[in-house]
Structure 1
Amino acid sequence: MIKAGVWRMAAISGVIAASTFAAGCASIERGATNLAINLIERRIIPPQLEIADVDMACRFATGNYPLISGGTRAFGGDPQLLESLLLVSSAACSEQRAVEEELRYLRAAKQNNIEEAQDARIGQKRLLEITARRQLGAFEAMRNKLQDKYDFEYGEGCPEFTRDFDELVYLLGTVAGLQAVVNDIASQQMVGVPTDIAPKSERALTCISNAKWWGAPNAARAVVWSILPGASEGKDVWGTFNLSMLIGERQGVRLSHVMYGLSALAVGDTTRFRDATKRFANVKDYKPSEQYALVEGISVAVMTNLSDRYWTENVGTRTPVGSMGKYWDEEAAMPEGMNVDDLLN
């Protein structure tokens, strides 16, 4: 009996020791993984933000998201801020493909090709669903991580940021949330993105400096004012866009111009949309930001997409090369060797 008791105690002690050792190993793994994540955020992400090639960035994000997310989580890490940035970039790829389907739809509709138009619209909605899921994921990862880190409620209070990186993810994740709402509606709400993201985001964007972040926070707020019923009351929507664009032009990131163009199209104001593209294309002595070249690159890509939609809807072709901010009914502005008849025939 005594021997049995001794063996039992030894076994229990062994289990406890093994559990303690395993817990210690897990703690070491988690600490090392989070240290690696922090190193990536501080040392690797900044140089990547200096690369203006949006296609390269979004393909990298799409291809490596499972590895980075799964690999760090497998060792107890919390990569949510990295996940948010990767999903923002990845959404740029699927959104570009959705735009191509939309352009195909517009051309088919002009030619009265019903089957082709229907097929293109279906393809567009499927890709918008993927895009909305990625953008919602970016928003939720940003919100969940920063709420936990800074102990605040998103859209109700403001965090006291200790890193520019956290502010950047906060801004881009918030914009992604707004995009998710719009793209989900366009996909026939296949994702079910909560629409209360819009008013919460409007309040959340007051927590970061408009002057520091290229005028984008207030421009994004103005987007909400322009699309939500009653939200624009007492607000200088277009004046806010104008000031935000001036800030963006000085800092080399024209994200505010894109938001201005989106809002103008959303309310059917083609005059202001044309103004957005003209301002985008004709900033005097413009110097794109080197530090945030990728954000500027995304701005260029999205504005080009908006222009291509407008051109295709009206003329049947995307924006001619070198003609951003120039239009078919502005004869003097057409590229050399091209005239309106070339586009309308």
Structure 2
Amino acid sequence: MIVTLTAHPSLDRAIELDTALQAGGVQSASSGREDAGGKGVNVARVIAAAGVPVRAVLPLAEDDPFRAPLHSTGLDALTVPVAGRVRTNLTLVDPAGVTTKINLPGAALDPAERDAIVAAVVVASEGARWLVLAGSLPPGAPSDFYVRVIEAVRSGLGTGAPRIAVDTSGDALARTVAEGHPDLIKPNDDELAELVGEPLTGGDRVADAVRLARSIVPSRAAAALVTLGSAGAALVTADAAWAAPTPRIRVRSTVGAGDSSLAGYLLADTAGASAEDSLRHAIRYGAAAASLPGTQAPAPTDLPGDDLPVATF
């Protein structure tokens, strides 16, 4: 079992434009879709599509319209009652794959609602192999919210606590790494540079990712999976670092590609794969997601590039 927490879920609306985005103009679109989203939900959908047991924890009001698209995913979802409504994210994709995102803020959670979410995660995580804390925090939530979740899970479940993966950014990532010592973080290179407080060199993206990740692995995080867009991804652990490129694909939408990469890594890891093969699996899942419209969850049959070369650092 893998458990995901999405503290700030979203209704993802994706529109494919016929031409490049023109500010101030009126444009036609070739297609559109609507998906239940938020990083943890995205990760859970990919894991479920692979046939692996997964449970998604998220805040959700009883009368929220988000329940319909969530139900259509077929996910095993543990919803925590709250007063506010799920936000909407809009994604515009032109024929060249250029993506423009407009994200609305979600509803704030009061202290009692946040406490209820933490308690629900502890219950859901019993017997799980991994717990994924993914996405931004809702308005008003303290930047150490994920730290509180980690502490509650580890103290409540002891030696039975799952390993914990974190995919967030900014202050939430900084506090989690500084105080929570997660087992895995999944930033992109820009998020990693912000976390470390060092600029990217603008040269070799892979070398930059490995250099920056090594400054926090394993002292503050046990491992880092760093997604690098078209340059692939790097995996850094206490023992070594590996990197591999992205297979050639036609980009349809990059929304959710990083979430799929994390899901691919977790799927391989729980199946007992090596670090190199887990990295390959992560990259193939991210590429598959980018080749699909909207935030569709890639299935194993969608995966490209089954023999990616892996370099060791």
TM-score when normalising by structure 2: 0.29
RCO higher in structure (CA 8 A, sep ≥6): 2
Greater radius of gyration (CA): 1
Q: Which has the higher helix share?
A: 1
Structure that is richer in strand per residue: 2
